[in-house]
């Protein structure tokens, strides 16, 4: 089975905790704090691997969690930061976070995209030593790593794509033009997944894709519409395969219009791609009529028109020539695309907060920076709580609480933690 969609969960590693430690050596009766910092958690990175062809590997496992950072230790030893966790994906993969809209496109081998950042490590007690706090007995906890669900969607990268109605002869053409071995049978919808083959000439190679048959309404999701049309988006040339002698007696002109309408309706620039019209199964039509049809279609569309027969080999060399002519050498090479995600940074945005009254003598403070501050410290530790109060005052939270009617001793809730604040008490 060919798998072009997957849903995975990624989580960066948690940061390691800082440690409370004091120097203990012979002849040093009053050693100072020497607690080391925790290491940063590992990142989760998507890596584009040219050896992969689809997303089938994610059917066996869809959860990827990076290792946490090491905890700090005494003697100023910092915790280790683990290597990033690499999640390999094939070229042409787009990763999208449906909640935030963040998107990463990995098109060429070697591209990497950081999709879940590891949490920062906590600082050891040595970092909190000051002239007035010479023996701090608290340290920071590490922060949790980022986590998210990602939707992976694969778009095949082919230089030319064979499109047309079911049973138009696309698979037979691909088998004759390349060494690919698609399933060929005398009934519609034989091909149920895209098949790739390689066209070779001199020192050039082009990738040719057999896109499963389109039907009316494919652009709106009929049949396997969107799933197949999506793979046409990265093609440089479209070869529209049109059956000269449909077994169902349908009109080739109407059949051609049906497929072109679905391509245009799907959008994404498909209507503007260069075209080659391939009139297939020419061996079933008298030769004079074939030549007449070729002239008519060429006059109607103004694009290269080639009559072919996969059974006899008629016109295959001309079709190959036309494909190579429409895909210039510079376009056949790997495009120099880079997986870039744009983020908007607002200075000081993480310090924003708001104060809400939660009840009589109770207040709630919301804000990402304030919540991280609480997550890092154990408010049951008296020294840590004093430090938190000190930081809340510096950030303007105490002033905002007082403006809302706060009095010393009232309960304050931040990030689900409720504690009593007494900002009037002296700091030690």
pLDDT, one tens digit per residue, over 131-177 is 888 889 999 999 999 999 999 988 766 788 888 888 778 888 888 88
pLDDT of residue 39: 96
pLDDT of residue 250: 85
- Kindly indicate the confidence band of residue 180, based on its pLDDT and cuts at 50, 70 and 90: low
Q: Answer whether residue 202 shows pLDDT above 80.
A: no
Q: What is the arithmetic mean of pLDDT over 290-311?
A: 92
Q: Answer whether residue 219 shows pLDDT above 70.
A: no
Higher pLDDT, 1 or 249: 249
Angle (CA) 179-184-189 rounded to 5° is 125
pLDDT of residue 342: 39
User: What are the boundaries of each domain within the chain?
Assistant: 1-154, 160-332, 349-420
160-332 carries CATH number 3.90.79.10: no
How many residues appear in the chain? 428
CA dist 187 to 168, 197, 247, 281, 396, Å? 10, 22, 10, 15, 74
Segment among 103-117, 179-193, 201-215 with least mean pLDDT:
179-193
The H or E element containing residue 394 is helix 382-394
Q: What is the pTM of this model?
A: 0.65
Q: What is the arithmetic mean of pLDDT over 264-289?
A: 86
Question: For residues 13 and 1, what is the distance between their CA atoms, to the nearest angstrom?
Answer: 33
Q: Which residues contact 426 (CB under 8 A, 6 or more apart)?
A: none
Q: Answer whether residue 373 shows pLDDT above 70.
A: yes
DSSP-derived secondary structure letter, 220: G
1-154 carries CATH number 2.70.210.12: yes
- Kindly indicate the confidence band of residue 341, based on its pLDDT and cuts at 50, 70 and 90: very low
Phi-psi region of 221 (alpha: psi -120 to 50; beta: other; left: phi over 0): left
Helix (H, G, I), strand (E, B) or coil at 322: helix
Q: What is the arithmetic mean of pLDDT over 267-292?
A: 87
**Tokens read off for 379:** 């408010």
Percent of the chain clearing pLDDT 70 (strictly above): 82
- Kindly indicate the confidence band of residue 329, based on its pLDDT and cuts at 50, 70 and 90: low
Q: What is the arithmetic mean of pLDDT over 351-361?
A: 87
Contact (Cβ atoms closer than 8 angstroms) between residue 238 and residue 273: yes
- Kindly indicate the confidence band of residue 193, based on its pLDDT and cuts at 50, 70 and 90: low
pLDDT in tens, 23-52: 887 776 677 899 999 999 999 999 998 877
Percent of the chain clearing pLDDT 90 (strictly above): 38
pLDDT of residue 145: 95
Q: Answer whether residue 376 shows pLDDT above 50.
A: yes
Q: Which residues of 408-421 are buried (b: 16+ CB within 10 A; e: fewer)?
A: eebbbbbeeeeeeb
- Kindly indicate the confidence band of residue 13, based on its pLDDT and cuts at 50, 70 and 90: very high
Higher pLDDT, 253 or 343: 253
Segment among 72-81, 233-242, 301-310 with least mean pLDDT:
233-242
Q: What is the arithmetic mean of pLDDT over 75-79?
A: 93
Chain centroid, CA 60 distance in Å: 19
pLDDT of residue 209: 80
pLDDT of residue 346: 45
CATH of the domain spanning 349-420 = 3.30.300.350
pLDDT of residue 2: 57
Task: Describe the strand order of the beta sheet including 417-420 as a list of residue ranges.
Answer: 354-359, 362-366, 411-414, 417-420
Q: Answer whether residue 221 shows pLDDT above 70.
A: no
Question: For residues 228 and 165, what is the distance between their CA atoms, to the nearest angstrom?
Answer: 12
Q: What DSSP string describes 31-70?
A: --B-PPPPPPPPPEEEEE-TT--SSGGGGS--EEEPPPPP
pLDDT of residue 159: 81
Contact (Cβ atoms closer than 8 angstroms) between residue 401 and residue 358: no
Helix (H, G, I), strand (E, B) or coil at 389: helix
Contact (Cβ atoms closer than 8 angstroms) between residue 93 and residue 55: yes
Higher pLDDT, 1 or 367: 367
CA atoms within 13 A on the CB side of 336: 1
Helices (H), 234-367: 252-266, 287-301, 316-326, 329-332
Higher pLDDT, 22 or 52: 22
């Amino acid at each position: 089975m060919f798998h072009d969609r997957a849903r995975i969960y990624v989580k960066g590693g948690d940061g390691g905790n800082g440690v409370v430690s004091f120097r203990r050596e012979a002849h040093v009766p009053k050693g100072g704090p020497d607690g080391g910092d925790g290491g940063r958690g590992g990142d989760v990175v998507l890596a584009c691997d040219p050896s992969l062809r689809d997303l089938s590997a994610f059917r066996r496992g869809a959860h990827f969690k990076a290792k946490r950072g090491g905890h700090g230790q005494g003697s100023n030893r910092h915790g280790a930061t683990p290597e990033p966790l690499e999640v390999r994906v094939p070229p042409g993969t787009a990763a999208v976070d449906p909640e935030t809209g963040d998107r990463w496109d990995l098109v060429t081998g070697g591209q990497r995209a950081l999709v879940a950042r590891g949490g920062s490590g906590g600082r050891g007690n040595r970092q909190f030593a000051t002239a007035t706090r010479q023996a701090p007995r608290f340290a920071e906890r590490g922060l949790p790593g980022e986590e998210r669900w990602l939707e992976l969607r694969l778009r095949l990268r082919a230089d030319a794509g064979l499109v047309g109605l079911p049973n138009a002869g696309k698979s037979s053409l691909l088998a004759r033009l390349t060494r690919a071995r698609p399933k060929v049978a005398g009934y519609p919808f034989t091909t149920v997944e895209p098949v790739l083959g390689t066209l070779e000439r001199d020192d050039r190679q082009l990738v040719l894709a057999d896109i499963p048959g389109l039907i009316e309404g494919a652009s709106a999701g009929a049949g396997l519409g969107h799933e197949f049309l999506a793979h046409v988006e990265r093609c440089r040339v479209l070869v529209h395969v049109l059956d000269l002698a449909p077994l169902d007696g349908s009109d080739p002109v109407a059949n051609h219009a049906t497929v072109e309408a679905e391509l245009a309706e799907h959008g994404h620039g498909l209507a503007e791609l260069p075209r080659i019209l391939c009139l297939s199964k020419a061996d079933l039509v008298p030769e004079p009529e074939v030549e007449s049809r070729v002239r008519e279609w060429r006059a109607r569309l103004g694009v290269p028109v080639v009559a072919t027969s996969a059974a006899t080999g008629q016109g295959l060399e001309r079709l190959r020539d036309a494909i190579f002519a429409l895909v210039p050498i510079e376009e056949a090479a790997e495009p120099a695309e880079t997986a870039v995600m744009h983020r908007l940074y607002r200075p000081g945005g993480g310090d924003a907060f708001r104060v809400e009254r939660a009840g009589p003598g109770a207040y709630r403070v919301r804000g990402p920076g304030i919540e991280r501050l609480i997550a890092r410290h154990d408010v049951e530790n008296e020294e840590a709580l004093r430090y938190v109060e000190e930081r809340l005052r510096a950030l303007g939270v105490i002033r905002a609480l007082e403006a809302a009617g706060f009095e010393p001793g009232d309960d304050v809730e931040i990030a689900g933690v409720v504690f009593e604040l007494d900002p009037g008490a002296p700091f030690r």
